A and B are shown apart, each in its own frame.
Chain A
Amino acid sequence: MKFGTSYILALFLLLFLACGNDDDMVTSPVDEDIDLSNIPYDPQPFDLVIPDSFPQMEIPADNPITVAGQDLGRHLFYDPVLSADSSMSCSSCHLQNSSFTDNRAVSIGIDGIGGTRSSMSLLNIGFNYNGLFWDGRSLTLEEQALLPVEDPIELHNLWPDVIDKLQASDLYREKFRKAFGIGLASEITKELAVKALAQFERSIVSSGNSWFDQVIYGNDPTKQFEDDELNGFLMFFDQSNGALPDAECGHCHPAPLFTTDEYINNGLDPASEPVDFLDPGYGTVTQFPSDFGRFRVPTLRNIALTAPYMHDGRFQTLEEVVEHYNSGGHHAPNIDPLITPLELTPEQQQDLIAFLKTLSDMDVVENPLYSNPF
């Protein structure tokens, strides 16, 4: 009897030790797992078409874009399965026809709670290597895609619950198998899910067919800017040889991507000290005092489709944006020295807006490769 008790105790101890804090432990019993090896796995590289004027995209070696991976990412992007109540997906705040923004000042999550910042465009996001979100808190798209799912003011879900649903889905078992060659349904993980989402996001690239691209890079002399567009272009890049004011735009928004992805204070709010900024922005991430109140410079490609503007959506129109820069903004110790009064006339402000509209790329917002597959 004594031997029996010791034996049971020892067995219990062994079981206890075996059930340690191992996050990687597969909780689904093996006998309930689904063998996927009968589904063909034949990864084909995705044909990423990048305009000639663009840089090459640097894609992580451990996550090349494949046809099946991009397709899986697209399904996950549009599928409300990622949210706790199945009411919202990534696409709820990144609508294709709004150049992957949501046209709200701040985004609203599944519980109806508004966030503090505006949804950023995903257009050409694969060319960003300087941090994501307005404050740069994620360094890679894979890392970034983990966060909204569990953010209480966004999709407010738990990754284990999402993975349970994906593992139970015939559609996703097949798509994960085709994308990543997994052998069992239990091998569907959040790490693979965000890899697929990142593949889809990297595939969202300008068509190179905007009016700006046709005029500047198209090598077709018959395509010329209208007068107002040309004036706007000359002021934007300070190319008028002094005939027009320098609007100072091109420093932070250089072609071809129309962003440097740097973090600057563009004079939105007055501040005497770093602590004065209601939203510390980049300072939250770096903790450098002079980074407080700085935000990532967004791309201006498709800017006419992404109102309202700024990190908090305070400006409803491009007219308001241009007026802000024309005024020179509000002083703060770390305001960018290029934010100075521009002294543009109302007509020149309209010319600048006419130029900004040449950056609209309707092909990208109608491309079926980026559209809702459901």
Chain B
Amino acid sequence: MTNVSDKSIIQARNVEKVYPNGCHALKQVSLDINRGEVVVIIGPSGSGKSTFLRTLNQLETISDGTIHIDDISLTDRKTNINKVREEVGMVFQSFNLFPHKTALGNVALSPIKVKKKTRDVAETEGRELLKKVGLAERMNNYPSHLSGGQQQRVAIARALAMHPKIMLFDEPTSALDPEMVGEVLDVMKSLAGDGMTMVVVTHEMGFAREVADRVVFMEEGELVFEESPDRFFESDNPRLQRFLGQVL
């Protein structure tokens, strides 16, 4: 750990991922992300952007390279990955709320079981978080009685309940009906405004333009291009141009 800058909270170096079936998902991906920075990753499907995001909390193991989260190596066998995951919240495309728990139950579960908080404390904090994402009225609803947008906001509150230093978003709005995208993006914007370090895989170019500090373009497992949003969307990189031409 010679060149760990004191600013970067995520350090990925030459990350390789080869699946057992031979599929080469990540090729020499390196990315540093600073504390408080919002990084948006875009790219065509199958480009490895979700895979890369999932390596950051070791839901995917990597084949080669190193990843450091807050100076802790994820590839070190001595690292307790559960401790790292407490610091790295994740929001999924398909919400993955626990269907047998109410909204509040979802938010309070991990603080109770992992952080060993009392039910009272965890639920008080949980209510605060659900209020913050605009779901004060829906705390006792089961996920099946919530709309997609509401479910995704519960999922964000659930991740925040562990007081993470980093939030990973894996296409958080892709499974939503169009009219619900806005409410989720609003929550993410306010989170960015609070100074949370965020890595967001998304197809929402508007969000990237407006909120991101940096936009990263991935294609075929390679990190092709990274730039600040204003310069990113003006770039004449041919691969990026081709992709933007397809989605915009």
Do chains A and B interact in one complex? no
A interface with B by C-beta (< 8 Å): none
